[in-house]
Amino acid sequence: MTAPVADASAVRTEHLRKTFGPLVAVDSLDLEVRRGEVFGLLGPNGSGKTTTIRMLCGLIEPTSGTATVAGFDVTREPERVKQHIGYMSQKYGLYDDLTVVENIRFYATVYGLHGDARAKRIEQMLDDLHLRERASQRAGTLSGGWKQRLALATATAHEPPVLFLDEPTAGVDPASRREFWTRIHALAAAGTTILVTTHYMDEAAQCGRLAFLSRGHLIAVGTPEDVVKQFGQGTIEDVFIELQKRDER
């Protein structure tokens, strides 16, 4: 079994690049996410956020450059990367015809949990995410907020050291978003590294550090306060609006 590379970083990229024919989706990205950090990846639509996450998850191969996640190389060891991450995409990925508990059991099994270890983890997920009252309900009948909780449960069933969240609260009501972020901070406090993309600036402000992408390029990185100062703006939302204007020119 391949051992992970010893590194204080949970995610590291060097000159990471992805092209689709003539389109350069991500260009020479140098990025570091520290272990246990809540790190926000921001930028207008088409800036390269989702492409970056899909490369880091081992779902698509970089055109050039290197990246390691949880100590594993995404190009040489994509399957090892997948075993050590959780991924919650902006697209609904649950099985509508399965119940809440059946969805969690399925994903836990896919990630290698079996027997007593799986049973204990399912019970923990039902309690931690307050899903027990919905355990026998089919996923397709859940509201958006409950589906979000279930999606987080399936993404973390195997307790991955690194969790990728791609627009995880899109279309969810404010109360559910707040509760979701309470859980995110609890996971980070327990040692999980979290990389999240979001269009909600109140959520971006809750990240320890942020990186802004524009047309595939990294143009700013730092704490929310640092990024605001770098752009000479008043708020993170002002920075986002300024980038949107740039990309539309």
Phi, psi (degrees; rounded to nearest 5) at 5: -75, 130
Please count the structural domains in the chain: 2
Model confidence band, residue 39 (pLDDT cutoffs 50, 70, 90): very high
Residue 198 lies in a domain: yes
Task: Report the CATH number that the domain containing residue 195 is assigned in CATH.
Answer: 3.40.50.300
Are residues 177 and 232 part of one domain? Answer: yes
Are residues 129 and 220 part of one domain? Answer: no
Per residue in 169-193, pLDDT (tens digit) is 887 888 888 999 999 999 999 999 9
Enter the pTM of the model. Answer: 0.91
Are residues 165 and 149 part of one domain? Answer: no
Residue 213: per-residue pLDDT: 93
Are residues 169 and 49 part of one domain? Answer: yes
Per residue in 223-248, pLDDT (tens digit) is 999 999 988 888 888 888 887 777 77
pLDDT of residue 3 exceeding 60, the answer is no
Structural domain for 224, as ranges: 1-84+161-249
Q: What is the mean pLDDT of residues 40-68?
A: 94
Are residues 106 and 64 part of one domain? Answer: no
Cα separation values, 129 from 122, 145, 146, 210, Å: 11, 11, 9, 27
| Residue 181 token pair | 């972020």
pLDDT of residue 85 exceeding 90, the answer is yes
Are residues 165 and 147 part of one domain? Answer: no
d(CA 195, CA 126): 24
Last residue of a domain, one of 138, 159, 180: 159
Helix (H, G, I), strand (E, B) or coil at 3: coil
Are residues 103 and 75 part of one domain? Answer: no
